[in-house]
């Protein structure tokens, strides 16, 4: 066994403790009461990159939460990788469904439970550990490394674009590396070459000026809860196709060749549906589950509120109703264009007697990287060295808003090498990260730097 691997294996406990320490900081980017914790988390992450051996480490303020920047440029003539990740996490509600506290990392059955365990602190800390291992064993990294760890990914990365443009020269690189995606099974690694985009909206429906007695006024005025349901019901037809005019205009039809490639992906469809806890698979007619999640757009209600929902009955007509509705997009759909079409359609679907506000909360363009790029072969080799099966080439249904920005600012190949699993409960109660993913992924990251140094 080489010295690097030996170091990685003998320091697993320490790597895990370092990860647990950062998981104890409640870095929820979307909730204002965590603002101080966000800064504390940025400082903590910066310290850990410094301790691992990065020479220049900075906390860069933005209009929102700060960016952590770390670099080591001691390998002239070798490629430079730009590592991207995020230290912010999603909110934890509903808290009562967590078996242990979200910010008290706990190990059960070889899995580490905490908010951010997988998404994305656990994956960022694989790189921190990999950097430390190289520095301790060899006193250097095999490549030059620049790290951008942001604090607003889960909020749509609103302020990152400005940072990337301002720092564009300093962020020069040869390849982008991101660990914020998944694998296909506990021993089936994957490289991701496509992500869906997102448009996230809120529809506010206002009816009467105040709540009304449903006997006195019911039947005489429009009920905003009924109106909102009519709007939502009108967004899809009975085949699961989205009814927004022009929604599919830029969606390329799937070719038979693409379908064949997707059909050969070692994807456990029954296991995936079982993991979701859903009795059956359900979705757009004419497509497989994998096609529905990876290459087809969606429109879903994320939340919906109106009227009386306390115990027992209250005969009332609510004056207000609101829904969060988001759409996942595929190449070449454009978030701005689709929001405009969506809003126009929602207004058309609204029955008379209510007023509407439709908000564009945030968005992310869809993303594809060059599947055949030789840089990706370095990642294939790194994964082959650290997992029992060769990596599968996959797309994913989730979004990473900055990937499209990187494409514009840098135009580089991107290695999306992540180790999440379908049962990791991302954004949900009891988020976890398998220790096999964390330790195996740490090796893959350490080997990736070596393989990138060998060149394409």
Question: Which tokens belong to 416?
Answer: 């999306």
User: Taking contact as CB under 6 A, which single stretch among the options 100-108, 152-160, 166-174, 253-261 is the one that binds ligand BES?
Assistant: 152-160
Counting residues that bind Zn ion (by CB under 5 A) gives: 1
Per rule CB under 6 A, is residue 451 in the interface with ligand BES?
A: no
State which of residues 156, 189, 194, 224 lies at the interface with ligand BES (CB under 6 A).
Answer: 156
State which of residues 327, 400, 403, 415 lies at the interface with ligand BES (CB under 6 A).
Answer: 400
> Which residue, 54 or 124, is less far from Zn ion as judged by CB?
124
Per rule CB under 5 A, is residue 119 in the interface with Zn ion?
A: yes
User: Taking contact as CB under 5 A, which single stretch among the options 76-84, 112-120, 277-285, 416-424 is the one that binds Zn ion?
Assistant: 112-120
Confirm if 28 and 91 have CB atoms less than 8 A apart.
Answer: yes
123 binds, among Zn ion, ligand BES, none (CB under 5 to 8 A by kind): none
**Residue listed under structure tokens 């449903």:** 214
* CA neighbours closer than 13 Å in the CB half-sphere of residue 51: 12
142 binds, among Zn ion, ligand BES, none (CB under 5 to 8 A by kind): none
**Residue listed under structure tokens 């490549």:** 143
Per rule CB under 6 A, is residue 431 in the interface with ligand BES?
A: no
Site for ligand BES in 89-128 (CB under 6 A): 119-120
Strand-pair partners of 145: 72, 81
State which of residues 53, 401, 413, 440 lies at the interface with ligand BES (CB under 6 A).
Answer: 401
> Which residue, 123 or 226, is less far from ligand BES as judged by CB?
123
State which of residues 154, 343, 431, 450 lies at the interface with ligand BES (CB under 6 A).
Answer: 154
Per rule CB under 5 A, is residue 88 in the interface with Zn ion?
A: no
Compute the distance between CA of residue 117 and CA of residue 100 in angstroms, rounded to an integer. 13
Compute the distance between CA of residue 198 and CA of residue 364 in angstroms, rounded to an integer. 5
| Burial classification of residue 302, based on how many CB atoms lie within 10 Å of its CB (0-12 exposed, 13-18 middle, 19 or more buried) | exposed
> Is it true that the peptide bond before 94 is cis, omega within 30 degrees of 0?
yes
> Which residue, 196 or 410, is less far from ligand BES as judged by CB?
196
First to last CA, the chain: 25
Site for ligand BES in 298-327 (CB under 6 A): none
Compute the distance between CA of residue 421 and CA of residue 441 in angstroms, rounded to an integer. 12
Confirm if 229 and 305 have CB atoms less than 8 A apart.
Answer: no
Task: Specify whether the backbone of 434 is left (phi greater than 0), alpha (psi in -120 to 50) or beta.
Answer: beta
Compute the distance between CA of residue 28 and CA of residue 44 in angstroms, rounded to an integer. 15
Site for ligand BES in 194-253 (CB under 6 A): 198
Chain positions contacting Zn ion, by CB under 5 A: 119
Chain positions contacting ligand BES, by CB under 6 A: 119-120, 153-154, 156, 180-182, 198, 362, 364, 396, 398-401, 426
């Amino acid at each position: 066994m080489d010295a690097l691997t030996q170091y990685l294996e003998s320091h697993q406990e320490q790597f895990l403790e370092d990860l647990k320490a950062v998981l104890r900081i409640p870095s929820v980017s979307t909730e204002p009461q965590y603002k101080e914790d966000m800064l504390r988390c940025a400082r903590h992450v910066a310290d850990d990159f410094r301790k691992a051996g990065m020479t220049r480490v900075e906390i860069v303020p933005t209009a929102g939460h700060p960016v952590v920047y770390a670099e080591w440029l001691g390998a002239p003539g070798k490629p430079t990788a730009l590592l991207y990740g995020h230290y912010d996490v999603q909110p934890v509600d509903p808290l009562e469904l967590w078996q242990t506290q979200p910010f008290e990392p706990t190990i059960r059955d070889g899995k580490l439970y905490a908010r951010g365990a997988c998404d994305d602190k656990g994956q960022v800390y694989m790189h921190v550990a990999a950097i430390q291992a190289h520095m301790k064993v060899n006193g250097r990294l095999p490549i030059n490394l620049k790290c951008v760890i942001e604090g607003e990914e889960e909020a749509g990365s609103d302020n990152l674009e400005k940072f990337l443009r301002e720092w564009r020269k300093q962020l020069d690189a040869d390849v982008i590396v991101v660990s914020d995606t998944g694998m296909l099974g506990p021993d089936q690694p994957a490289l991701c070459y496509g992500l869906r985009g997102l448009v996230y909206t809120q529809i506010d429906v206002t009816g009467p000026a105040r709540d009304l007695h449903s006997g006195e006024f019911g039947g005489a005025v429009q009920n905003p809860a009924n109106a909102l349901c009519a709007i939502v019901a009108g967004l899809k037809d009975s085949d699961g196709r989205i009814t927004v005019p022009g929604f599919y205009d830029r969606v390329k039809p799937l070719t038979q060749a693409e379908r064949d490639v997707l059909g050969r992906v070692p994807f456990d469809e029954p296991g995936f549906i079982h993991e979701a806890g859903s009795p059956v698979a359900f979705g757009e007619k004419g497509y497989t589950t994998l096609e529905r999640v990876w290459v087809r757009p969606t429109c879903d209600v994320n939340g919906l509120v109106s009227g009386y929902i306390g115990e027992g009955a209250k005969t009332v007509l609510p004056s207000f109703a609101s829904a969060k509705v988001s759409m996942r997009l595929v190449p070449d759909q454009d978030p701005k264009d689709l929001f405009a079409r969506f809003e126009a359609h929602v207004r058309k679907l609204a029955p008379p007697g209510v007023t509407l506000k439709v908000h564009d909360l945030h968005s992310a363009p869809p993303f594809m990287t060059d599947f055949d790029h030789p840089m990706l072969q370095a990642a294939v080799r790194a994964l082959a060295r650290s997992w029992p099966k060769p990596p599968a080439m996959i797309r994913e249904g989730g979004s990473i808003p900055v990937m499209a920005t990187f494409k514009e600012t840098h135009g580089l190949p991107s290695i999306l090498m992540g180790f999440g699993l379908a049962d990791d409960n991302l954004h949900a109660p009891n988020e976890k990260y398998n220790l096999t993913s964390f330790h195996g992924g740490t090796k893959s990251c350490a080997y990736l730097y070596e393989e990138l140094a060998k060149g394409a």
